[in-house]
Chain A
Amino acid sequence: MDALDPVIHQPARLQIMSAICQLKDDERVDFTFLKQQLGLTDGNLGSHLATLEERGYIRVDKEFIARRPKTFISVTSSGKAAFTAHVGALQAILQLK
């Protein structure tokens, strides 16, 4: 049985991972769009993304579009695997009930 991942289990990060795991493998989501979808603040989302990036679960790309800085977030294969394992662990806990 997979163990719960403490990095993913934090509620905001769980929300972030659930959302970006819906993207196709080569897709990236805009920071502002993700912030609006999740109802988080800039600082809150930024700090959780930094934690997830540090763990190698997501990739953060910064680029300039029409001279404006834009941040795009994508999930890595290890991030998808970790999230799947975390969901599996949650489901296993329910089955043990």
Chain B
Amino acid sequence: MILCITEFSVVNITPEEAAQALREIEASRVAMRSAIQAHRGHLHLWLWGSLWMSTSVLNWDDNPAHTTASSLLMVGGGLTSALIGILQGRQVRAPVNPRFVAVCITILLFGFVAWPVVLGPPHGYRAAFGLGTLVWMQLYIVAGLWFDTYLLWLGIAATAIILAGLVFLPGLFWACTLLAGAVLVGTGFHVRNSWK
């Protein structure tokens, strides 16, 4: 009699082998989760939170000499964010949602082109920074409604803090943007540590 065992024959294993297989599954799961954890957006939150905080400290005395440096920081942040996105997209990627991208482009065009043209440019660096951050927070709110709730709450919280600084507490505007930046950094830590 020839006993033919193929690779896909019925599996019979002992409890010890089952326990070993479960241990291997857990080890592989933990290793992969830890690798994927680096792709959950906290790097961008840390980057932009730090940049907002730096800009707030830099402009604390409303010295116009610091506006160029602040703008350069933002440009550097944009380039760094793009680089992080490209590098991470080479490892783990999700499909781009064309409708979401279209909504983002529309918000950016309204915020940075249409409204300044219709209503005139913002009065001073403080107003420009406030407008810019509010436009980006609209994107966070839309992304939160679309994908992940934490972005919605982050967008609402930062918007409320910045609006409070712009409208109700002008003397504390940079303190408010510093706080909004800290909210971004804190959310980054939450995202990094809560996703197990």
Report which A residues bind B (CB closer than 8 A). 3-7, 9-11, 14-15, 18-24, 26-30, 33, 37-38, 65, 70, 72, 87, 90-91, 93-94, 96-97
Contacts and interface: CB of A to CB of B under 8 A. Distances in A.
A90 B11 CA distance: 11
B62 interface: no
Given A7-B8, A37-B31, A93-B15, A18 B94 contact: no
B35 A28 contact: no
Contacts of A20: 32
B98 interface: no
Given A27-B93, A29-B91, A94 B32 contact: no
Interface string B1-40: 0000001111101010011011011101101110110000
A34 to B, nearest CB: 9
Contact of B8 (A6, A27, A37, A94): A6
Q: Which of A3, A6, A93, A94 has the most CB of B within 10 A?
A: A93
Q: Which of B32, B33, B35, B94 has the most CB of A within 10 A?
A: B32
B92 interface: yes
A15 B18 contact: no
B7 A10 contact: yes
B40 to A, nearest CB: 10
B21 A90 contact: yes
B24 A90 contact: no
B13 A93 contact: yes
Nearest to B22: A90
Given A6-B8, A37-B35, A96-B15, A19 B28 contact: yes
B99 interface: no
A12 B18 CA distance: 15
Contacts of A3: 10-11
